Amino acid sequence: MSFLELKIPPVAILLICITGMASAQVYLPPIGLSWWVSILMAGIFLTIGLTIIMLAVWVFRRHKTTVNPFQPELSSQLLTTGVMRISRNPMYLGFVFLIIASGFALQSIIFPFVAAVFILYMTRFQIIPEERSLNALFPIVFSEYCKKSRRWI
């Protein structure tokens, strides 16, 4: 299954998850939260997710290194500051928050499952290959970074 490594854009995977969850809602019962609770929860998770993503992109742009998920070998430096101290993959973490926000907005009973599948897929086909490249480029620094910062949270 290595043919899937670094092939599908992470944003496309995010959209597939959200669209699939929305489509499944036609056939599934809602969570049963009142509308204002579901909108409030969706707003909280949306805000957290977008903030994490924007902070991560800002760090990448500030250090003038690539955010291209298909060519991690083009990274000019290993970023370990800002939001990268909390998570080695803050943009993907932000995507998980967007899935959760969508789940609350849709009142989807399957959003925990969809979020878990997204995490498993991204770990296997995006993060592990990226980490191989970063370890090859920055072996000592990346090893130390892995000891200090977790893959997700």
Domain chopping of the chain, boundaries: 9-148
pLDDT in tens, the chain (153 residues): 688 898 999 999 999 999 999 999 999 999 999 999 999 999 999 999 999 999 999 999 998 887 888 887 778 889 999 999 999 999 999 999 999 999 999 999 999 999 999 999 999 999 999 999 999 999 999 999 999 999 998
Q: Which residues 6+ apart lie within 8 Å of 97 measured at CB?
A: 45, 46, 48, 49, 52
Residue type, 75: S
Indicate whether this model's pTM tops 0.75. Answer: yes
Nearest to 22 by CA among 145, 108, 141: 108
Rounded Cα–Cα distance for residues 149 and 153 (Å):
8
